[in-house]
Structure 1
Amino acid sequence: MHTLAIVDPCCARGYTPDALHAGGLGGTEATVLRVATALATDMTILHYQCGRLVTEQTDAGVMHPFENAFTPGLVATIVVINAWKVACKLRKVQPDARIILWLHIHPGRHNRPMAQALAATGVEVICVSASHAASLRRFLADGPPLAIDHIHNPIAPGLMPDGTAHDPDRLLFASSPHKGLAQVFARFRAARAAIPSLTLAVADPGYLVWETGPVPEGVTFLGPLPHADLIAQMRRALCLFYPQTTFAETFGLVMAEAQAVGLPVLAHDTLGANAEVVTDTGQLLDAGDDARILARLRAWRDVRPVVRGNPAFALTAVCDRWRKLLAAPARAEISLEKVA
């Protein structure tokens, strides 16, 4: 049986499937747990998590403290979440392993040396959308060639419209506040000046404190919600209200899940993976244009568009992609003389 190690150096504390159901997890951790739980039916999964103090058996695999990942001869395949320097460091103690960097973020400008380091250590890269992979290739274009591919993040199983009546006055923002909430507040304030009955519910997962400026009238904070409760909020809303131009989603799990339950997404048309995740039913626009946002809200209050989930984001489809990747030969050659 294949054994896969998933190394997460970036989490603040250990997490398990129980946290997935309770709410408060970011999209990266939720994705790791969903994929690992599905893959654990036909392979052994080991997790190495920063902030974890004890070993714990779960449906998603066995959770270990992060430091244990540096035990020599660990496993044949290691997937590292986001931290390219850790992936390269692991090569020194795992010279024979296949190492994959599972990237969920856009690296900052100071990370341009990652291309040389990843090429030298034979680390492959998996991004979470085609647009994310294309962006990374452009970012690293001046460096040596890398094995870069993408596998979408999966939405939770079983999501579909259920006939719940929506409130035409209720908008929903369901992301961490650093993802443009200050700008969303400004757009909501302008829309509410024209339609005073509008309200905005903010479901903040609570993992990051962020300054967003004054809170407009009509805003309520829901706090961290269990996943089922968040989905219930989506079913009640007119739309997922995400008109911001400052944070580029590498995938946008909340948008994908909103589409799956029939919730339209009002978002910027040329930002990150928005156009890849949100179906083309007039949901994307210039998020800096208050007049267009107001016109779209008015139209949707009369007739809300019919939207559907993308089958490519289903957990079964995503895990099929992972199984094929893990069964295929490694696509990056290791220059071991550069690792020593």
Structure 2
Amino acid sequence: MKAFRQETGRVPVAIVDPCCTAGYDLPELEAGGLGGTEATVLRVATALAPRYDITHYQSGRSHRQRSEAGQLRPLQNLDEARRPAALIVINRWKVAIKLRKQHPDMPIFLWLHVYPGRHNRKMGAALKAADITVICVSNMHARKLAEFLGTEDLPSIRVIYNPLDDDLHPDATTRVPDRLLFASSPHKGLAEVFRQFATLRRDIPNLTLAVADPGYLRWDTGPVPEGVVFLGSLSHPALIRQMRRALCLFYPQTTFAETFGLVLAEANAVGTLVLVHDGLGANAEIVTDADQRVDGHDPAQILSRIQAWRRAAPPVMANPAFRLSRVAEDWEQLLECARALRPQLSVVESV
């Protein structure tokens, strides 16, 4: 690999995404259909672009292109890559370990957005031995990972939240008290949400449930109750408009544990209430207002909360710690610490 010359003044960073099935860029973020992980990667990379020369290596990408989020490259181009000051690997710990063998002195981070399955119990010891830091997206995510790995095989773990756009705020949009919204992939408990909604509608027959499905995964959700309206895959601005109209984001499902739950945070940011099952995943950390958390197994509690909100919806707001500007500062601090430890990798050559 070539040595770097200090010409652009930006620090080179590589983001490696071996999980995506196709390349992605900012237009896909605006158009809709991207998962929360890809959306987060693009938002963070764009915010870091003024100080960091970021190159994305994406599985499924067939061609190179430039973007406000950085240079976009096919994953196979990683072998030809310039030597970055840090490598950030999305979700795949074995890829991070492989890269450590190729780059023994480089800071490597595993940016984890999922809970590891039981077959990954060896990852803790391997990551610790390879000196790879894991970035979790919530404190609950980090605690669950530590419990899963055990204290003897615990690598370094840091928490950096997924980001909310800085300009997401409540506006004067009139809410429809009979309109609920589900805005996630159907595998995230939609079948259960349908049953909860059908039960709820026996007492409030005018309720409707709008379903915004990003469309990246087909899933059997069982019978569709009366009152359900399918919105399809929405652009991000269109989804935010739907959030502003709805009484609440209706998400009291009890089975799919979010590591963060970006749509929950986005709904609160625009002043929309969120109904979630208490104690599941990061729900209590992201939705800190206890009035928005219920026992999803208790139809009476769900009904009581919806009835109260239809009479008078209390105000909600975003957690400042989730704002993109704050999250970008957390990433900059992490990368600057890595840069200080490897000053010989801290400048970028011209291209």
- Asked if Structure 1 and Structure 2 have the same fold, meaning a TM-score greater than 0.5 normalized by the shorter chain, the answer is yes
**Conserved 8 A contact 2:85-2:339:** no
Query: Does 160-169 or 69-78 show the bigger shift?
Result: 69-78
Indicate the SS of the match to 2:66.
Answer: strand
Aligned to 2:119: 110
Indicate the SS of the match to 1:241.
Answer: strand
Taking a change above 3 Å as real, the CA distance of residues 330 and 269 of structure 1, as seen in their structure-2 partners, is farther
Question: How far apart, CA to CA, are the structure 1 residues paired with 2:161 and 2:24?
Answer: 21
Aligned to 1:186: 195
Aligned to 2:67: 58
Question: How far apart, CA to CA, are the structure 2 residues paired with 1:21 and 1:29?
Answer: 12
- Counterparts of 1:157-236 in structure 2 under 5 Å? 157-236=166-245
Count of paired positions? 332
Query: Does 85-94 or 295-304 show the bigger shift?
Result: 85-94
Stretches of structure 2 that go unaligned for 5 or more consecutive residues are: 1-9, 342-351
Q: How many Å apart are 1:331 and its aligned residue?
A: 12
- Counterparts of 1:1-340 in structure 2 under 5 Å? 1-71=10-80, 74-141=83-150, 143-329=152-338
Taking a change above 3 Å as real, the CA distance of residues 246 and 331 of structure 1, as seen in their structure-2 partners, is farther
Indicate the SS of the match to 1:168.
Answer: strand
Q: Percent identity?
A: 59
Deviations 1:210-267 (A, max 9, x none): 1110111110111110000000000000000001110010000000000000000000
**Conserved 8 A contact 1:147-1:331:** no
Indicate the SS of the match to 2:300.
Answer: helix
Stretches of structure 1 that go unaligned for 5 or more consecutive residues are: 333-340
Q: How many Å apart are 1:73 and its aligned residue?
A: 6.3
**Conserved 8 A contact 2:107-2:338:** no
**Conserved 8 A contact 1:170-1:199:** yes
Q: How many Å apart are 1:76 and its aligned residue?
A: 2.2
Question: How far apart, CA to CA, are the structure 2 residues paired with 1:145 and 1:246?
Answer: 27
Q: How many Å apart are 1:19 and its aligned residue?
A: 0.7
Q: How many Å apart are 1:162 and its aligned residue?
A: 0.2
Question: How far apart, CA to CA, are the structure 2 residues paired with 1:271 and 1:281?
Answer: 13
Question: How far apart, CA to CA, are the structure 2 residues paired with 1:239 and 1:72?
Answer: 46
Question: How far apart, CA to CA, are the structure 1 residues paired with 2:30 and 2:202?
Answer: 37
Q: How many Å apart are 1:90 and its aligned residue?
A: 1.0
Q: How many Å apart are 1:61 and its aligned residue?
A: 0.2
Q: How many Å apart are 1:18 and its aligned residue?
A: 0.9
Quote the RMSD (CA, aligned, Å): 1.4
Q: How many Å apart are 1:157 and its aligned residue?
A: 2.8
**Conserved 8 A contact 1:9-1:83:** yes
